Structure 1
Amino acid sequence: MIRDYLKEHILITDGAMGTYYDQKKSENGRMAEEANLLEPELIQRIHEEYLESGAQLIRSNTFAANRSLAIRKGIESKAEQDAYIRSVIQSAWNNAKIAVKRAAGEHFIAANIGPMPEYLFLEYHCNPTEEYQFIIDCFLDCGAKIFNFETFSDITEVQEAARYIKEKCPEAFVMVSFAVNRTGYTAGGISMNRLFTEAAKTPEIDSYGCNCMIGAAHMYDLLKAQNLSDEKFIQVLPNSGYQEIVRGHSAYSEGASYYAEKMQKIAELGVNILGGCCGTTPTYIRNLSEMIAEHEPWEKLHVAEKGTENAVSRTRNNPFMEKLQRGEKVIAVELDPPFDQNAQKLLEGAFRLKKSNVDIITLADSPLARARADSVLLAAKVSSMVDIPVMPHIACRDRNRISMHSTLLGAHINGIRNLMIVTGDPVPSGERGNTKSVFDFNSIRFMEYINELNQDVFLQDSFSYGGALNQNLANTDKVIERMQKKIDAGVSWFMTQPIYSDEEVEKLARMKRELDTKILCGIMPLVSYRNAMFIKNEMPGIHVPDEIVEQYRPDMSRAEAEAVAVDISLAVIDKLKDVADGFYFMTPFNRVELICRIIDKMEK
């Protein structure tokens, strides 16, 4: 029925429910979904206002009708939570049916499903597949034939849910909307282009598009760069504008006429379904409906594929990656950014390492969660003053998504093309009252985000990036599995923890056999008996065998201890000659001359 309608008409949906409900009842602090049970007449009236304004499809008031709603109300047992969610969905569906029954003409109701908060899976160990299937079953019991998944940042869970719907109800119509920011990326770091491509290839999805996060003007700019599938219907439901906080409450700009004008431009791209998200009201839908009137759908816009013919190699301006890809062994040396404003010693060390033909300097990002000079800014300074490739580490601990994106742009502008991506050491428990971790990404999610940017923003001169490898974890199978996830996320190399034992060499040899990747093997000279004992006993993730410690004495001179450190490092390097694609030297206590001695002897 809805398919037949869409062949001849542009379908107008309703606008926002949550923000419009808040306008009417902002003083009670209640979520709109709760009002299905407590204020059914008000919800019915909101649906009617949208229908009277020209909407042909209304969405059930169930965007947040999932287990988190029940938990928010303090319901503890799963059985009682299920019963509450079911009652909310049934009441919401009934409210929509009553509104449609009162309205004149042909109208549709879509079962509206929003993304579930991640804490349900992390803290309450809920299974996302089971949770979505439970909600779908509740709607199927109500008689739903149209399902609308909106504001999603990934497609994986939606694909599974869509398949489940079609298995249960083959004639169902499945709609999917993704929420992207003005640069075209979701909160999960996935590009609109990738999501649209995947949706177009998913047979169980009938209509796809975008909603929320941005207004109609920016949504138009993003959409006109997309190839819209001729085999699917396209839906677009922008916000009225951008959110602001007024007297403690969310508010959106008022501009219904402007919105309608921009929506007509969107319709002219070949979009089939138009409506509104946050901040839109019946006035917006009335203006939109009057603007579009009875117009037939426009032909879909087709644009040239971006970057396929003229994209240059991702190793342009990147001698480090060129050498690594040629199969030559590379040498990376880590220098510690200072705790204060004086970087002179670090710069002198970088000049000395350049004379030893080091391929790249790496700079850690406040390791052990102790503040040091910013790794990216310092890398830019080293690169410009020493003229040597640099690889700043970027930890996910300290920056939100906005700051991470900004950091990447700044790094690229300053000529940095190699990055080391790490999740980051946790903030010590004693400092967590004053210092908050961010972790909008973990390392793999951030790698995926950079990979997306490489295919769009940095297409002609991409970042290359590496990942951390702790070969000392007990379950090597799990380590390999995680490595593969990083490879799938675009990692070009791995850098290991310091290596001291034959067992570690054997583990790394297995990883090389099983994975198609490059591994830079970690070498960290131990410069005294005290240093060896500290690393062995107090540094997590590093394994120092007793036979290594026994080569040091407490009464050794500095020169004697360094001579032992050189011999041990060279012996480990020799064992790794058939495994390593390069070596990653960690400089102890800024002893650059020690690292240069090892490198010089290694090359001889």
Structure 2
Amino acid sequence: MFRELIKEKDVPITYELWSPRGCMVNQHFEAVSRFKDKLDAVNIPDNPLATLRVSSIAYSKIVMDRLKIDIIPHINCRDRNSLALQSDILGAHLLGIRNLFIVGGDKPAGKTVKTKGVWAVTSTELCKIVKHLNEGFARSNDDLVEIYGKTDFFVGGAIVFDRKNEVEIISRKIEAGFDFFQSQIVFSHEKVLNFFREAEERGVTINKPVLVGLSPQPSEKALNKLVRFLRVEMPKSSADRLRRSGDFAGEMLSVCLEVADELKSALSPKYKIGFHIMPLGYDDLGRKLVEELRE
């Protein structure tokens, strides 16, 4: 199980696979099947970027059954109230899912800007709700109501290394019961190291596994799109290096691997550091990065 692998592996690796926009299994499913043995779990986002996708829970069940791999469906707080969230989470447990990744959810923008977000609870509040479900209680308004049986979820949360007051935010998340963290995409090891330095200076112990997001992109056009839509920062030195390269995809892999090597060297074994690969559809590059990280 993922909860055991993330503790046992020197470098745990997860991989993000988006569910399709329609009722057919997409081509990325087959691509991931070719290197699934090198992964510890697969994440399935929940309507990422506030755009319609197949249910993360439903698709997680398909991936879990076909690939025989542990799965981590995302659950966002944007689209459902606490009653609907708890209902879906209980349904996930009935389907055999034992991991969840709880996020607030991207704000609707662009073509989905008129979509109304709910946000009845925060991601930290939802984590507490899941932990109550693990103890056999559901939340009804401000009360806890006993349910039949207990869930057994391993709960992940998001970490944003350069967000203001992130050390305090993560400290509260750890206190709320989050079991591991995965970050958004980073192209600089410095912002990650700065976060851990600040945590140490403030006396905050990061005693949960942290999987750092890496995303190899095949071209300058793809990278620019990623930076624009996900608001990811690329250091100027790295951007210039990529532009000068005659092999953009190969150089992109090198950038990701260098970030990974710097973090492992600086933070392990004091902290449990792993990597969360987000290829955004470029699974051949995702596979190459996973294989390099496993060597």
Which of the five TM-score ranges fits, normalised by the shorter chain? 0.7 to 0.9
Could you tell me which amino acid in structure 1 is paired with residue 188 of structure 2? S
**Is 2:130 aligned against 1:450?**
yes
Which of 117, 121, 135 aligns to 1:441? It is: 121
| Matched residue SS, 1:595 | helix
Which residue matches 2:173? 486
Give per-residue Cα distances to partners, 1:385-409, cap 9 Å, x unaligned: 1110000111011112221111111
Which residue matches 1:600? 291
Structure 2 distance, partners of 1:410, 1:334, is: 22
| Matched residue SS, 2:264 | coil
Which residue matches 2:275? 583
Which of 180, 185, 201 aligns to 1:498? It is: 185
| Matched residue SS, 2:78 | coil
Give per-residue Cα distances to partners, 1:272-299, cap 9 Å, x unaligned: xxxxxxxxxxxxxxxxxxxxxxxxxxxx
Structure 1 distance, partners of 2:233, 2:125, is: 28
Shift of 1:511: 6.1
Which residue matches 1:390? 71
| Matched residue SS, 1:551 | helix
Give per-residue Cα distances to partners, 1:144-188, cap 9 Å, x unaligned: xxxxxxxxxxxxxxxxxxxxxxxxxxxxxxxxxxxxxxxxxxxxx
Structure 1 distance, partners of 2:52, 2:118, is: 15
Could you tell me which amino acid in structure 2 is paired with residue 503 of structure 1? E
| Matched residue SS, 2:275 | strand
Shift of 1:526: 2.6
- Is the CA contact (8 Å cut-off) linking 2:167 and 2:195 kept in structure 1? no
Alignment of 1:249-264 (within 5 A): none
Shift of 1:458: 8.8
| Matched residue SS, 2:96 | coil
Shift of 1:347: 2.3
- Is the CA contact (8 Å cut-off) linking 1:369 and 1:427 kept in structure 2? yes
**Is 2:159 aligned against 1:469?**
yes
TM-score by length of 1: 0.43
**Is 2:212 aligned against 1:521?**
yes
Could you tell me which amino acid in structure 1 is paired with residue 34 of structure 2? R
TM-score by length of 2: 0.86
| Matched residue SS, 1:583 | strand
Shift of 1:341: 1.7
Structure 1 distance, partners of 2:113, 2:9, is: 44
- Is the CA contact (8 Å cut-off) linking 1:523 and 1:585 kept in structure 2? yes
| Matched residue SS, 1:553 | helix
Identity of aligned residues (%): 28
Which of 547, 555, 565 aligns to 2:237? It is: 547
- Is the CA contact (8 Å cut-off) linking 1:331 and 1:359 kept in structure 2? yes
Could you tell me which amino acid in structure 1 is paired with residue 2 of structure 2? F
Structure 2 distance, partners of 1:507, 1:438, is: 33
Structure 2 distance, partners of 1:329, 1:458, is: 37
- Is the CA contact (8 Å cut-off) linking 1:337 and 1:346 kept in structure 2? no
Give per-residue Cα distances to partners, 1:67-102, cap 9 Å, x unaligned: xxxxxxxxxxxxxxxxxxxxxxxxxxxxxxxxxxxx
Change in Cα spacing, 1:537 to 1:460, as seen in structure 2 (3 Å) is closer
Shift of 1:535: 3.3
Query: Is there any run of 5+ residues in structure 1 with no aligned partner, and where?
Result: 1-318
Structure 2 distance, partners of 1:555, 1:499, is: 20
Structure 2 distance, partners of 1:429, 1:381, is: 30
Alignment of 1:218-297 (within 5 A): none
**Is 2:30 aligned against 1:338?**
no
- Is the CA contact (8 Å cut-off) linking 1:532 and 1:549 kept in structure 2? no
Alignment of 1:201-220 (within 5 A): none
Shift of 1:536: 3.6
Which residue matches 1:424? 105
Give per-residue Cα distances to partners, 1:485-542, cap 9 Å, x unaligned: 11111101111121212421322432674322211111111321122333345532x2
Query: Is there any run of 5+ residues in structure 2 with no aligned partner, and where?
Result: 137-146
**Bigger Cα displacement from structure 2, 488-497 vs 342-351:** 342-351
Shift of 1:545: 0.7
Alignment of 1:49-448 (within 5 A): 319-326=1-8, 328-355=10-37, 357-428=38-109, 431-433=112-114, 435-448=115-128
- Is the CA contact (8 Å cut-off) linking 2:213 and 2:278 kept in structure 1? yes
Which residue matches 2:140? none
- Is the CA contact (8 Å cut-off) linking 1:350 and 1:382 kept in structure 2? no
Shift of 1:438: 1.4
- Is the CA contact (8 Å cut-off) linking 1:427 and 1:436 kept in structure 2? yes
| Matched residue SS, 2:10 | coil
Which residue matches 1:571? 258
Structure 1 distance, partners of 2:210, 2:149, is: 25
- Is the CA contact (8 Å cut-off) linking 1:336 and 1:363 kept in structure 2? yes
Root-mean-square deviation (CA, aligned residues, Å) is 2.2
Change in Cα spacing, 1:458 to 1:365, as seen in structure 2 (3 Å) is farther
Structure 2 distance, partners of 1:425, 1:552, is: 29
Could you tell me which amino acid in structure 2 is paired with residue 398 of structure 1? D
